[in-house]
Structure 1
Amino acid sequence: MSTVPIPFSEPPWLMGLPSAYYNESHKKWQKTCRALVDKLLMPEGGEWEKAGDVPTDLYQKFVSANFLIPNLSAPLPVKWLHKLGIHELPGGLKVEDFDYLHTLIYVDEMARTGSLGPSGAVTTGLAFGLPPILKFGDQQLQERFVPDLITGRKRICIAITEPEAGSDVSNIVTTATKSECGKYFIVNGTKKWITNGLWSDYASMAVRTGGPGPSGLSMLVVPLLDTPGVTMRRIKVGGQTAAGTTFMELDNVCVPIANLIGLEGHGMKYVMQNFNHERLTISISVNRISRVAIAAVFAYCLKREAFGKTLMEQPVVRHRLAKCGAELEAHWAWIEQFTYCMTKLSEEEANKELGGLTALAKAQAGRVVEICASTAVLLFGGNGYTRSGMGEIAERIYREVPGARIPGGSEDVMLDLAIRQLVKNFQRKKKELEVELERSGRSSKL
C-alpha cells in the first residue's frame, strides 16, 4: 500500500485488519477485480453517469476480459462453463472454486465509482435475467439460450415490474395467452423500470398465464430487439442514469411455447428465489457507494477550514461522521457474516433460512446510504449541492438513495417481508420440535 487510506474508505479487511472470512483465493481475487475495475470503469465512470449512458462497446470489453460471469450467483454453472470452454475467471480463479465471498468482492469492487449506473449497465441484465433459465429451465431451453448469453453474443434482462405492480409482484397484469394453434403465447402488457432493457435481445419475463394471484404467474423468455410488437424507450431516472432503465410495451408479441421457463403457474416461486441474489448484491453495492460518500467527505473535512479551524476539529462534524461510520460498518459486518453463511448452506437451506434476512439487509442498505449521502452533502456544503467540482460525488450518490430504497423490493415491503418470514420459520421449527418431542415422549413448553 503506497498511501494511508482515509478512514471508512475500505472495508476493514482491506484496511489491514484481520478477518476470519477471506482466504488467499479471495485476496487474490480482490486484487484482480480492482485492477480490472480500475481499467474498465474508474477512469470515466463518473462522466458516463453524468452523461446518462455508457459507451456501446463497454459490454464487449467486459466479455473480452471474461469479467461478466462473476455476476452469476455462486456456485457458478460449472457444467455449462466447461462445456463452453470456460474453466477459469480472470486471475486464474477456477470456476468451480468461485463462492459467495468471491461474489461479495466482485460486487463491492464494481461499485467503487460511487454510482450504480456504469456497473449496472453491464451487469444487471445477466445477473438477474439468466439465473431463472439456469435454475428452472429444462435442458432444451438452456441449450437454446445459455451459450449465447454466457459468451456475451446476446444480452438478457429481467422484466418483472409494471406500472401498477412494483413490489406487489402477485398483481402483475401482463398476459400470455396461448394461440389457437397452441404453438405460441401471445404476450400483451407493459413493463417499467427494466434495467438494461434497451440493449437486451431477451427478457426473462413474469407474465400472467392463469387466473388472479400468485398461482396465475409464469415466466417466459421473451424476445425483445427487432421483435414485432415490442416497443422500448429509455426512462430518465434520478440515479443509475447510465444503466439503461427501460419502458416496454408488448402488443401481441408471439413467444414460442417452448420459451416457458420451468412449469406454468410456478412463476411467483421463481421470481422470489431470484430476488434473494438480487437483494444481497444490492446490499453490497449500496454499502460501497455509502463508503465512497463518507470517505470523500471525511477527506474534505480534514482540509476544509471554517471559523479558523478545519471542519474535522468541529465536534459536531466528528459526531455526524461517527454516526455514519457506525451504521456503515455494522451493516458491512452483517453482510460479511451473511455472505459467509451462503458459502456453507445449500441453496435450498439458504432460501429457507436467509430469505427474510436478505430482505432486511437490503432495507438496511437503503437506510445506511441515506444517512451517509445526506451527511456528505451537508458537510460538503454548497459543493455537495453542485453537480460538478469537489463535492459532485456526494450530490450524485444522494440521488442514488431512492434507487437503493425502492428497486428490488421497496423498503417497507422488505421490512414486513422479513418479519413475516422469520415468524414463519419460527413456527415451522416449533412444530418440528414438538413432533420430535412427542415421538420421544417429552413435551415442549414453547
Structure 2
Amino acid sequence: MTPSRPIPFSEPPYLSGLPSPFHRETHLRWQKACREFVDENLHQHAMEWEREETVPEDVFRKFAAANMLIPSLPAPLPVEWLKRLGVHDVLGTVKVEDWDSIHTAIYTDEMTRSGLLGPSGSLTTGMAFGVPPIIKYGSPQLQERFLPDLLLGRERTCIAITEPGGGSDVANISTTAVKSPDGKFYIINGSKKWITNGIWAKYSTMAVRTSNAGPNGLSLMVVPLANHPGVTMRRLKVAGQISAGTTYIELDDVKVPVENLIGAEGMGMKYIMTNFNHERLNICVSATRQARVALSAAFAYVMKREAFGKTLIEQPVVRHRLAKAGALLESQSAWVDQFVYEMTRLSKAEADEKLGGLTALCKAQSGMVLDECARCAVLLFGGNGFTRTGQGEIAERIYREVPGVRIPGGSEDVLLDLAVRQLLKNYNNETKAIELGTRTLKI
C-alpha cells in the first residue's frame, strides 16, 4: 500500500518531513496530542456546526474540562494561577511552566485546520483576548474574583472594544463610564459592535471612556453582560465566522462596581495596544492555516478534475496560479515562524517594543496572502467554488471569511500605516539613544 503523503501546501514544512530550526521534541509531542484532541472534538463536526451557525455548548465544556482553552492565552502562561487551580500541564504533554509561544502557535494552527475560523473562535476568543488584561494588569482582588472561573472555563468572557461609530479608531471610543455620586459604581452608557463570543459571555473586558476625549481618557474594566440590568445583546448576521457568535451590545445605565476597573484609570489605550499584539499574531497563524486549507483543497481538486481531455493540473495556467499563491503562502508561513520564535527569545516588554509594528505588518500581509490563496482556490474550483455545498464548499466559505481577517484586529490600511510609523519611531528613539551614549549599537 502506498504511504499517505500530504497534498502540496497542505502542511507547514516541519509537518511535511522537512527539518525545522524552531520545533523541538516538546513541540512535536504537543502537536500530535493537540491534533488528536481537536480533530475528535471539533473538526469532524466543524462544517456542520458552521452551517448551523452555533457550536454546541457541551463542546466548550469538553475543551474547558481538558484545559484546552488555556493554550489560547499568550505565552508564558500564568503559571502561579494555573497551579493554584490544579492545572499543571496540558493534555499531559507540556508542563505549564515549559509553555512557550511556539506551543501557542501550534495550538492556534491546529484549531484552524478545518479551514473555518468560526468553530474555533466560538471557543477561544474570549479566553485569548478577554482574560490576558486581567492577568497582566488586574489588581490581586480583581484576579481573585474572576480568574478562577474564567481560566477553568466555568464562565465565559469576551473582549469588547469596537463600536458602531469606530472600529480601528480606538482612541475615539465613545462608550462612557461615569462614577456614581457615592463613588461606588461606574455607570456605563453606549454600545459595542462586532463582539465575538459576546452573546454567550457572562463578562466582558470592555474599553470605556472615563474622562477626556482622546487616548488618555480610556480605561478597561470587567463589565457583566448576560442577564445584567441595562445590558441588551443580539447576534449579528455576518458573512463568515458565523458560529463564533458576533454580537451587538447596548449598555443603558449599566452599574459596575469601581473594583472592576482593570489597572489604572486612563491607561486603557496602553493596555489595549499591548493586547492587540497577541491578537494580531494569532490572526497571522490562523490566516496562514486557512490559506493552506484553501490552496491544498484546490490542488487536490485540479489533480482529478478533467477538462479538454486532461486533468487541470496539466494546464500551464493552472500550475502558474498554484505556484504564485504557493510562493506567497510559504513566504508568509516562514515569516510567522520567525515571529513566533522571536517571541520565545524576547521578554514581553521587548517584544511589544521591537515587534509591535512588524506584528501589525505581518497581520496585514496575512490577510493579503489569504485573499490570494482563497481567490485562487475559488477560481480553480470553478462553479463548484461558487457553490455553498458540495466539493467546493470549503473554498467558498474561506473566501467569504477573508474580510474577517483583513478587518478585525486593526483594518489592513490602518495597520500598514501603523507599522511604518512604529518602525520610524523605534529608529528615531534608538538613534537618539546612541547619540546620547545610553545605548550601544549592535552589529
User: Structure 1-normalised TM-score?
Assistant: 0.97
Residue in structure 1 matched with residue 18 of structure 2 by the alignment: 17
Q: In the alignment, which residue of structure 2 is the partner of 1:226?
A: 227
Q: Distance in 2 between matches of 1:13 and 1:184?
A: 52
Q: What's the counterpart of residue 376 of structure 1?
A: 377
CA distance in 2, matches of 1:60, 1:105: 21
Question: In 2, distance between residues paired with 1:410 and 1:50?
Answer: 27
> Do residues 428 (structure 1) and 429 (structure 2) align?
yes
Q: What does the per-residue CA deviation read over 1:247-283, in whole Å, with 9 as the maximum and x for residues that have no partner?
A: 0000000000000000000000000000000000000
2:285: which partner in 1?
A: 284
Q: How does 1:205-216 map to 2 (within 5 A)?
A: 205-216=206-217
**2:231 and 2:254 in contact (8 A); partners too:** yes
Q: Distance in 2 between matches of 1:345 and 1:83?
A: 27
Shift of 1:409: 0.5
Q: Secondary structure at the match of 2:145?
A: helix
Structure 1 residue 112 corresponds to structure 2 residue 118: no
Amino acid corresponding to residue 214 of structure 1 in structure 2: P
Structure 2 unmatched runs, 5+: none
Counterpart of 1:345? 346
Other-structure match for 2:57: 56
Tell me how far 1:92 sits from its aligned partner: 2.6
Q: Is the contact made by 2:29 and 2:93 (CA closer than 8 Å) also made in structure 1?
A: no
Conserved 8 A contact 1:291-1:328 = yes
List structure 1 runs of 4+ shifted beyond 4 angstroms.
none
Shift of residue 47 of structure 1?
1.1
User: Distance in 2 between the 1:114 and 1:22 partners?
Assistant: 23
Structure 1 match to 2:239: 238
Residue in structure 2 matched with residue 153 of structure 1 by the alignment? 154
Q: 1:291 is aligned with what amino acid?
A: R
Q: What is the rounded CA distance, in whole Å, between the counterparts of 2:270 and 2:411 in structure 1?
A: 19
Q: Deviations over 1:39-78 (max 9, x none)?
A: 1111110111122111121110101221110010000000
- Contact 1:28–1:91 under 8 Å retained in 2: no
Gaps of 5+ in 1: none
Which residue identity is paired with 1:10? Answer: E
CA displacement, residues 276-319 of structure 1 (integer Å, 9 cap, x when unaligned): 00000000001101100000000001111100111000000000
Give the SS at the match of 2:178: strand
Cα RMSD after superposing both structures = 1.2
The whole-number CA distance in structure 2 between the counterparts of 1:225 and 1:389 is 38
Looking at structure 2, the residues matched to 197 and 61 of structure 1 have their Cα atoms a distance apart, in angstroms, of 20
* 1:135 to 2:146 alignment: no
Q: Distance in 1 between matches of 2:300 and 2:37?
A: 25
Q: How far apart in 1 are the matches of 2:89 and 2:66? A: 11
**Is 1:74–2:75 an aligned residue pair?**
yes
- Partner of residue 203, structure 2: 202
Amino acid at match of 1:59: F
Q: In 2, are the aligned partners of 1:29 and 1:91 still within 8 Å (CA)?
A: no
Superposed counterparts of 1:158-307, under 5 Å: 158-307=159-308
Report how far residue 2 of structure 1 moved. 4.6
Judge conservation of contact 2:33–2:93 (CA < 8 Å) in 1: no
Q: Is the 8 A contact 2:377 2:385 kept in 1?
A: yes
Deviations 1:127-183 (A, max 9, x none): 000000000011011000000101111111000000011000001000000001110
User: How far apart, CA to CA, are the structure 2 residues paired with 1:239 and 1:31?
Assistant: 28
The residue that corresponds to 1:323 in the other structure is: 324
Equivalent residue pairs, number: 440
